[in-house]
Amino acid sequence: MGAPGGIFFLVAGPSGAGKTTLLKRLLEAEARLEKDISVTTRAPRPGEADGVAYRFWDRARFERELAAGAFLEHAVVFGRDFYGTLRAQVEAKLDAGIDVVKDIDVQGVAQVRKVWPYPRTVAIFVTPPTPAELERRLKDRGTEDAATVARRLATARAEVARIGEYEYLVRNDTVERAVADLQAIRRAEHLRRERDERAFRANWEPAAQGGT
């Protein structure tokens, strides 16, 4: 272990957990951390420009690139649209020593970790403080009908069943505190022994490395 290079932070959790806001604030606060831009087949929402939050591709292009092996992972989210992570764009940043963070669904996390297990990737599960608070946030959005809210709550419970796959759990109580938690995770992860062990030993045990 101890591969040098950036860390890929995968941030998952129920829709309504506040991931978008948290990642936006985190990216504003941190240096040498960049967001991965997902590819999706869903239509852009009003105000969503191509290449900012997402690259909007049609199904044919998505399938072509999938067949060509361009995706590190992909998933159908909410039973509708395809979402995926382009391997090359993440790799380029990690190789340059830049950390990458992305908002991803639980299926995506499971797939990425088969290819790139910890410590190259660090999985963080974000939830609202309570299920009742999640329900309130989903209803307050006012954009989803009752059936959609019910479906998202059921999905949230199914997602929580998989928290054993994550290194960290963050409760998004207040944005400030949750962002501070994410910053603390990043900082601590860079201090993990397995990331730095080789360089550390080379410095302190030069003889063991074949030095004089």
* Residue ranges in contact with ligand 5GP by CB under 6 A: 15, 38, 42, 73, 75, 77, 83-85, 103-105, 107-108
Question: How many CB atoms within 10 Å of residue 141?
Answer: 12
How many degrees, rounded to 5, is the angle at CA 26 between CA 100 and CA 151? 85
Q: Which is nearer to ligand 5GP, 36 or 195 (CB)?
A: 36
Q: Which is nearer to ligand 5GP, 6 or 13 (CB)?
A: 13
Residue whose pair of structure tokens reads 């409760």 in the numeric block = 171
Closest approach of Cβ 119 to ligand 5GP, in Å?
21
Question: Using CA atoms, how far apart are residues 154 and 16, in angstroms rounded to an integer?
Answer: 13
Q: Which helix (H) or strand (E) holds 199?
A: helix 193-204
Contact 170, 15 (CB under 8 A): no
Q: Which helix (H) or strand (E) holds 16?
A: none
Give the β-pairing of 121-127 and 71-77.
Answer: unpaired
Q: Which is nearer to ligand 5GP, 99 or 105 (CB)?
A: 105
Closest approach of Cβ 77 to ligand 5GP, in Å?
4
Closest approach of Cβ 69 to ligand 5GP, in Å?
16
What's the length of the chain? 212
Q: Which is nearer to ligand 5GP, 148 or 196 (CB)?
A: 148
Closest approach of Cβ 61 to ligand 5GP, in Å?
15
Give the β-pairing of 54-56 and 168-171.
Answer: unpaired
Q: Which is nearer to ligand 5GP, 6 or 108 (CB)?
A: 108
Closest approach of Cβ 60 to ligand 5GP, in Å?
18
The tokens describing 190, both together, are 């860079």
